[in-house]
Structure 1
Amino acid sequence: MSVQQRRERERAERHQLIIDTARELAESDGWDAVTTRRLAEKVEYSQPVLYSHFKGKDAIVRAVAVQGFADLGRQMRDARTTATAPLRALAETYLRFARERPALYDAMFVQRIDIAFGSDETPVELRTSFGEIVAALEPVADGRDLDVLAEAFWSALHGIATLRHGQRLRPDLDEDRLDLVLSAFAPH
């Protein structure tokens, strides 16, 4: 391995360490606790080193969110392609992801990040994740606009996830809510 290759590998590892540490810190203490100073201390690098990887906290949150979309997309694809009820499996996976990884979900959907949704500049991880929703709905679209259907389904799941996280919904009705959403989008 050349010196240049080793440096590139070390830089990539440092970059990933910063992302992982930010996500862990957010999961334990919330996004307000994630500061460049605190991150620099946690990863044991100076703030200038941190800034050599990211312009600031917003860029770090963006990187965490993009990786979150990649994780969510993989999980939804696995659920959709292995289940006998693909749409239900995808929806359950989405809601479980939001429940089990609240700070990551927050980075992806609540924090203000510089990511274009639904445009040519949308990162591939987001498009792939959304594509899983589209793929799960395609068999039940029945001539309806698939993108609109997917956006509405995604909105319903996001609403449930957000209200559930905020303890605005009764947990004993989780299954009933999901049944209702699924029957509205896949009435067969």
Structure 2
Amino acid sequence: MPRDGKRIKGTADQRAEARERLRSELLAAARELAREADGYDSVTVRSVADRVGYTVPIVYQFFAGKRALLVELVDVGFTELAHRLGRARCPDIQQTQGGPLLAVAVAYWEFALDDPHLYRLMHSLPDVPFGTPDAPESARACFEILRETAAAGIPHLCANTHDADAGADLLWAHLHGLVSLVLDGRVKGGAERGRELLVDLTRWLNLPERYADPTAG
């Protein structure tokens, strides 16, 4: 529905495309407001409607409320992250970045620092399932890339003896930990030094001798 309240004319496909554009516009508006307000706490359905020039009831045609809008943004975030992680698996990018492990780590890092408020929302919104079949498909796609990266890049992890996901869990934990510390200002030197530590982290994880059995041989 356009801003003047009149119905959208055209074929069913055209109307569907117009509704999808509006949905994307509402989500983009919420992200813009979060950047301006330093987080999603002050983002409301009304502020999103005002930003795009629609009335509040129009927003409720797409989202039951703020919670539903935030859940959708979590899915959008993981979809974008999965795309970036997937691109990082391209041989050309891996060669430029210095290997698959660092290429994926850099893609993860850059996504988080490009939109820190969305990144925080993705990892903090309550009652969004993870580690189960009910987890968002986009989040499971990200995890699958991390799992394949860990299996190929750090197969020597002792954690791999626990189950097929343990290596990815540890890789995600390391990346998320470093990113979160940098975003929260808990690492001296800020993002510049944090980016250097990211390189060291991947090198540290990639040292097979770290996992050698000290009782062997």
What TM-score, normalized to structure 2?
Answer: 0.78
Residue aligned with 2:69, SS: helix
Kindly indicate whether the alpha-carbon contact (under 8 Å) linking 2:147 and 2:165 is maintained by their aligned counterparts in 1.
yes
Give the aligned partner of residue 211 of structure 2. Answer: none
The alpha carbon displacement at 1:93 in A equals 1.5
- Name the amino acid aligned to 2:102: R
> Aligned runs of 1:29-68 on 2, under 5 Å?
29=37, 30-68=39-77
Residue 158 of structure 1 pairs with residue 176 of structure 2: yes
Q: Which has the higher contact order (CA 8 A, sep 6+)?
A: 1
Distance 1:7 1:173, change over 3 A: closer
Q: What residue ranges of structure 2 are gaps of 5+ in the alignment? A: 1-8, 209-217
Q: Which has the higher helix share?
A: 1
2:33 to 18, 25, 41: 25
Once the two structures are superposed, what CA deviation does each residue of 1:128-184 show, in whole Å capped at 9, x if it has no partner? 111111111112223713311111110111111111011100236425532443244
Over the aligned positions, Cα root-mean-square deviation in angstroms equals 2.0
> Aligned runs of 1:52-91 on 2, under 5 Å?
52-82=61-91, 83-84=94-95, 85-91=99-105
Give the aligned partner of residue 185 of structure 1. Answer: 205
| Bigger radius of gyration among the two | 2
Kindly indicate whether the alpha-carbon contact (under 8 Å) linking 2:181 and 2:187 is maintained by their aligned counterparts in 1.
yes
Q: Quick one: distance in 1 between partners of 2:21 and 2:149?
A: 35
Kindly indicate whether the alpha-carbon contact (under 8 Å) linking 2:151 and 2:167 is maintained by their aligned counterparts in 1.
no
After TM superposition, the runs of 4+ consecutive aligned structure 1 residues lying more than 6 A away are: none
Give the aligned partner of residue 149 of structure 2. Answer: 136
1:7 to 15, 21, 25: 15
Q: What residue ranges of structure 1 are gaps of 5+ in the alignment? A: none
Bigger drift between 167-176 and 25-34 goes to: 167-176
- Name the amino acid aligned to 2:171: F
> Aligned runs of 1:99-178 on 2, under 5 Å?
99-112=113-126, 114-139=127-152, 140-142=154-156, 144=160, 145-171=163-189, 173-175=193-195, 177-178=197-198
Residue 96 of structure 1 pairs with residue 110 of structure 2: yes
What TM-score, normalized to structure 1?
Answer: 0.89
Kindly indicate whether the alpha-carbon contact (under 8 Å) linking 2:146 and 2:168 is maintained by their aligned counterparts in 1.
yes
Kindly indicate whether the alpha-carbon contact (under 8 Å) linking 1:137 and 1:146 is maintained by their aligned counterparts in 2.
no
Kindly indicate whether the alpha-carbon contact (under 8 Å) linking 1:40 and 1:50 is maintained by their aligned counterparts in 2.
yes
The alpha carbon displacement at 1:81 in A equals 2.4
Alignment length (residue pairs): 187
- Name the amino acid aligned to 2:13: Q
